[in-house]
Structure 1
Amino acid sequence: MNLFLCSRFCNVGTLIKEDLQNKRIAFIPTAAAKEGASRYVLAGRELLSEMGAIVTEIDISKEDRNTIKAAFAQADCIYFSGGNSFFLMDALRKSGTDKLLKKELQRGKLMVGESAGAIVCAPTITYIEPMDKKPPEYSQQDDAGLGLVKYYILPHFLDEVYRKASEEILEKFSEFDVRPISNNQAILVKDNTSKIICNSDNEKAVRDFRNEQG
């Protein structure tokens, strides 16, 4: 498993510059569709372009399975932007992209998950509802996530905009293994090892922990 999970890619993407330079990126902005293209999604794309990456945008809520499969097959990295986690997970499951993604990850491809793109990697996304409201058109019978990691990422930790929601999540889901990350941190997953890495002078601590994947 090769994952780079973050709150804001534009803040931390340079930490994996060597993995993205001049590479082909399948860029999935689907999570942002409900809210319009946010400036952070656009900033992420800009950073990829600055690295010389070849970006192909594909909205999995609109394209058919064969088109998505072809885009994934041609890509070196699959990137999921931020936005609404429930809208993204719904699109992943309805389109069959969840299964396509797992096959590509088994082949060793890198997945970048930004905010919502990181949240959906958890076993379930129920925990994030205080931060992300479930849209009325959500069609799934449960809130199952991709299950790529056994813990639950809480992005934007200590960001004033999300402070109240973050506190509610940590209190309400205290039995969950919630892993908060700030806008200047990311979780790098290699095989069965996860590492928090930072891109800020005042966040130098690097913490390793085992990700006991099934």
Structure 2
Amino acid sequence: MKLLLTSAGLVNQPIIDALADLVQKPFKELKLAFIPTAANVEPDGKEWLIDDLNNCKKLNFKQVDIIDISAVSKAIWQPRLELADILFFGGGNTHYLMSWIEKSSLKALLTDWLKTKIYLGLSAGSEIACRKRSDKYNAHFFGEPNNNKEYECLGLVNFQIIPHLNSPYFPNDRLPRIAQIAPEMKTPVYALDDNSAVKVDGDKVEIISTGAWQKFN
């Protein structure tokens, strides 16, 4: 299984190179499917989402499709995702994204698909790669609703991601705060700034960064 779990997407050359290393083909031969579902419940403007898509466009993929699994039926999204070489799960509300992956039955398909496809995550899309996640952590760091519930995620990796380290938009997302909370999370935790990512290729885990990151636990 090959994954690239980013804080902010394809924002710098080392992260782009890491994706190229995973796919082992020129981008112009590959189809990317972007799943923006996590952004649906985020308030205010979506300039950041437009930036995420523009970063994909700049890389000249053979095709960039946009597929919101909450907006169309399985009969529509499944064949389009099957055509993709890279499944790119975008940012937004983590719990909302995971709930739609469950409701839509996409979760059941990913195990087989990821034998041949690349999983690319951005923010919430990276967070859901873990086994379980608690609302209270995203409430603390990112201001998401806190239902005091732990929920099942995709279970693709045995660690958790805290994106947007040191971001001015998330003032609680700082190393001293993370150091206090990380022991509760009971798994390895990677805190990543927006120039950082975790690359997973089988059993090999590698940090890709031109910025700041830290591992806990």
1:128 to 2:138 alignment: yes
1:6-25 aligned within 5 A? 6-12=6-12, 13-16=15-18, 18=20, 19=23, 21-22=27-28, 23-25=30-32
Output aligned runs, 1:1-214, within 5 Å: 1-12=1-12, 13-16=15-18, 18=20, 19=23, 21-22=27-28, 23-35=30-42, 38-53=46-61, 54-106=63-115, 108-126=116-134, 127-130=137-140, 131-134=142-145, 142-166=150-174, 167-175=176-184, 176=186, 177-198=188-209, 200=210
Distance 2:10 2:46 in 1: 12
Structure 1 residue 185: Cα displacement: 0.7
Gapped regions of structure 2 (runs ≥ 5): none
Cα distance, 1:120–1:64 mapped onto 2, change above 3 Å: same
Distance 1:31 1:135 in 2: 16
Sequence identity of aligned pairs in percent? 26
Instruction: Give the Cα–Cα distance (whole angstroms) in 1 for the partners of residues 51 and 153 of structure 2.
Output: 26
- Check whether the contact 1:154–1:180 (CA below 8 A) recurs between aligned residues: yes
Opposite residue 15 of structure 1, the aligned amino acid is D
Distance 1:17 1:152, change over 3 A: closer
Helix, strand or coil: the match of 1:44?
helix
State the aligned residue count. Answer: 199
Contact 1:87 1:134 in 2 (8 A): no
Q: CA deviation at 1:33?
A: 0.9
- 1: CA distance between counterparts of 2:143 and 2:153? 14
Deviation >3 Å, runs of 4+: 16-20, 165-170
2-side partners of 1:74 and 1:89: how far apart?
Answer: 22
Distance 1:135 1:68 in 2: 30
Letter in 1 for 2:2: N
CA distance 1:17–1:111, change in 2 (3 Å): closer
